[in-house]
């Protein structure tokens, strides 16, 4: 090979190496961004406020039959910086007996509510001791500090056996995962299980399963959430 041939070959090798390095760097940056974004989606805050929308899928099985429908929630008030420390939301269901209504959790319920109300019947309900779709702050604190909380009107249902899990959720039209804690309670033929968002300011019930001694089954799953106004 002539001297010019060697020079040409060397230049081509240098050129190809540069092109290869640029190609690798571009793809490395793209992969890095995708990984960073995926971690960001898990770590971002879920802060409900006026207009936040939640969509749950509900399953009911009773002796009369089974039904699957949607429960849609629109937040009206969520722990406002001024005024009462309360949670208020409108809801509607697509059940055969479709309902619409409003639930208001007073400050006492938000702070120390003992049990959950899952009867989304029509009309407005004001809770002083009950919660709906959220557990109270005292229960979340107990779960964080001791690994369990006491539930029920008499406080005789001990939810424990905590498991840290990832919960898939369509959030602002993007597939995301959220850190949750699964807890359960069982007695005889009765079994309850729920997933709670790991957020002291927003201990949202992401899913709930129950089965009573008559084999009535109730399941609810949060499938979508949007904080975009």
pLDDT score at 89: 98
Q: Which residue has the tokens 């001694």?
A: 213
Q: What confidence tens digit (pLDDT) does each residue in 131-166 have? A: 999 999 998 998 888 888 887 765 567 887 889 999
What residues contact residue 116 under an 8 Å CB cut-off, 6+ apart?
Answer: 130, 131, 132, 135, 151, 205, 208
Q: What is the pLDDT of residues 112-129, one digit of tens each?
A: 998 888 889 999 999 998
pLDDT at 221 over 80: yes
H/E segment holding residue 126: strand 123-127
Beta-carbon contacts of residue 142 (< 8 Å; ≥ 6 apart)? 148, 149, 150
Whole-number average pLDDT of the chain: 83
User: Domains of the chain: which residue ranges?
Assistant: 1-43, 53-226
For 123-147, give one letter per residue: b (16+ CB within 10 A) or e: eebebeebbbbbbbbebbebbeeee
pLDDT in the model for residue 13: 56
Is the model's pLDDT at 28 over the cut of 70?
no
Q: Which residues pair with 70 in a beta bridge?
A: 57
């Amino acid at each position: 090979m002539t001297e010019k041939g060697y020079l040409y070959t060397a230049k081509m090798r240098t050129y190809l190496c540069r092109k290869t390095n640029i190609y690798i760097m571009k793809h490395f940056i793209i992969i890095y961004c995708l990984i960073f974004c995926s971690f960001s989606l898990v770590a971002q805050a879920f802060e409900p406020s006026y207009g936040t929308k939640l969509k749950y899928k509900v399953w009911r099985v009773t002796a009369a039959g089974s039904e699957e429908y949607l429960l849609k929630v629109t937040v009206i008030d969520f722990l406002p910086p001024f005024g009462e420390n309360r949670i208020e939301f409108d809801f509607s269901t697509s059940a055969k007996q479709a309902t619409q209504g409003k639930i208001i959790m007073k400050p006492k319920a938000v702070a120390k509510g003992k049990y959950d109300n899952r009867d989304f019947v029509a009309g407005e309900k004001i809770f002083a001791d009950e919660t709906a779709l959220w557990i109270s702050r005292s229960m979340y604190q107990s779960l964080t500090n001791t690994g369990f909380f006491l539930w029920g009107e008499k406080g005789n249902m001990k939810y424990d056996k905590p498991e840290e899990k990832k919960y898939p959720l369509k959030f602002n039209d993007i597939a995301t995962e959220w850190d949750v804690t699964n807890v359960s309670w069982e007695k005889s033929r009765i079994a309850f299980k729920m997933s709670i968002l790991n957020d002291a300011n927003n201990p949202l019930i992401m899913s709930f399963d129950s089965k009573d001694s008559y084999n009535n089954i109730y399941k609810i799953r949060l499938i979508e959430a949007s904080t975009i106004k």
